[in-house]
Structure 1
Amino acid sequence: MILQIETSTQVCSVALSHKGQLLFEKVSYEGPSHAALAGSFVEEALQEMKRQQGRLEAVAVSSGPGSYTGLRIGVSLAKGLCFGYDVPLIAIPTLDILAYTAIHSHATDSGALYCAMLDARRMEVYSALYDAKLTPVETVKAEIITAESYMDYLEKTEVCFFGNGATKCQKIITSPKAVFLDGMDPLALHMIPLAEKAFAEKRFVDVAYFEPFYLKEFQATIARNKVLGDLKK
């Protein structure tokens, strides 16, 4: 049995699987309340594990990029479980999870590429480009989207854009070969095949030293009226 935890975006989800089959899933789309929800979802998953008289063999966590706070919550929870149950930790890149979701929900014979995008700020996104076999064509990066973005690919083939960073790009990337897929979120459910593969290949990370992949350093923001107020003092 493997426990999957995904907290990289506004969505919070937990799943429990046995030999690749889903046993338990809990998802909340209600916003950034991961600190309260993730632990509760995990507790319910563990109760289901006990009900089935199972034994936890690994914990998989979405490793980023994504929300700084969300990633911290998910990874901290996963580490605690790994220490408590003495099981290995599996780290699954968030954009891999997102791309897996899109590829399997929008399969095509056109040779399309798949561009996973997570919202950063303004016109910036965290993105990665994959082929239909989930092989990276371009690895994860932070980029500012312009009208020229991905034109080298769009001149040759269809590119599917998805994730919470893709919506704001729809008015900028206007190629007829650009396809925007709605309703794609990285979910714990979609981590299951990726976690199973990592477990079979023994691709574990060090529980003590593993940190989420933030891609960029966390920047705290200060409200504009607070700044103006300080300047007047």
Structure 2
Amino acid sequence: MSTLLLSLETSSPVCSVALHYLDTGRLVGQTELRLEKSHSSHLSLLISQLLENTLHTLQDVAAVAVSDGPGSYTGLRIGAAAAKGLCYALEIPLLAVSTLQSLAHQVAAVTARPDQYWYCPMLDARRMEVYAGVYRADGAEVLAPTPLLLDETTLAEQLAGQSLLFFGNGAAKFRPLVADNPHAAFLAGIEPSAISVGALALEAYRRQEFRSVAYYEPFYLKEVYTTTPKNKQ
């Protein structure tokens, strides 16, 4: 009987894979690789190694969860393609979890007195822009994922009377702009993890919030701009 949830997190430079038991939610194992542009060549290997190291096979996987975005366009596409391919081949359901909500859950779960904060993950975009959202400790959405152009007035309404924790690889750009605000606190070193994706996906699985294997696309949040290289003379 298939008993495992396989979770993939590829929205950032960290390529992360995790396994949970579907019935108990217990973490079986997790592995990750921190190499730039390694997802396409290493994701399948990480999945195979994790299954082997935990004495499981793909036939034990009952569902696959993937980080939904926003984040790296290429990384999200690689994760989505891998998840959809596994779900199609194994005839199992697909789940998708917001990258920002997963990050907020990750931090709230280890924060002392978590209810005293709102949680604002920030993912680096171009220049002074980030992808961000604001969440309560229970995961309730205060501000839906949105691209934010950072300046001294960013999130001024939320910071007026509420303590916010900022984290993620885009938060460092915001810190100098609100250095004098006593309601703004920052955490360094917080990166997306397949463990948190799996924790939220377990809840979605129980609610049967499955995605279409044929038509699912990641939540990029913004259109991707590409340029055509000039012809060499």
For the criterion TM > 0.5, the same-fold answer is yes
Q: Which amino acid aligns with 1:211?
A: E
Map 1:67-82 onto structure 2 (within 5 A).
67-82=72-87
Determine the structure 2 residue equivalent to 1:13. Answer: 16
Q: Give deviations 1:137-159, integer Å, cap 9, x for gaps.
A: 01011110110112222221211
Question: Structure 1 residue 139 and structure 2 residue 167: aligned?
Answer: no
Determine the structure 1 residue equivalent to 2:40. Answer: 35
Map 1:10-159 onto structure 2 (within 5 A).
10-18=13-21, 19-48=24-53, 51=56, 55-108=60-113, 111-159=116-164
Q: Which amino acid aligns with 1:170?
A: R
Shift of 1:51: 3.7
Shift of 1:104: 1.3
Shift of 1:17: 1.1
3-state SS of the aligned residue for 1:143? strand
Aligned alpha-carbon RMSD (Å): 2.2
Q: Which amino acid aligns with 1:39?
A: S
* CA distance in structure 1 between the partners assigned to 2:11 and 2:198 by the alignment: 16
Change (3 A) 1:88 1:149: same
Q: Which amino acid aligns with 1:5?
A: L
Determine the structure 1 residue equivalent to 2:199. Answer: 193
Change (3 A) 1:194 1:109: closer
Shift of 1:218: 1.3
Q: Which amino acid aligns with 2:223?
A: E
User: Larger deviation: 84-93 or 146-155?
Assistant: 146-155
Question: Structure 1 residue 168 and structure 2 residue 173: aligned?
Answer: yes
Change (3 A) 1:215 1:89: same
Aligned partners of 1:97 and 1:191 also within 8 Å: yes
Work out the percentage of aligned pairs sharing the same amino acid. Answer: 39
* CA distance in structure 1 between the partners assigned to 2:196 and 2:136 by the alignment: 17
Change (3 A) 1:203 1:152: same
Q: Give deviations 1:42-84, integer Å, cap 9, x for gaps.
A: 1123335654897211000001110000000000000000011
| Count, aligned residues | 227
Of the candidates 167, 171, 178, which is equivalent to residue 184 of structure 2?
178
Q: Which amino acid aligns with 1:210?
A: Y
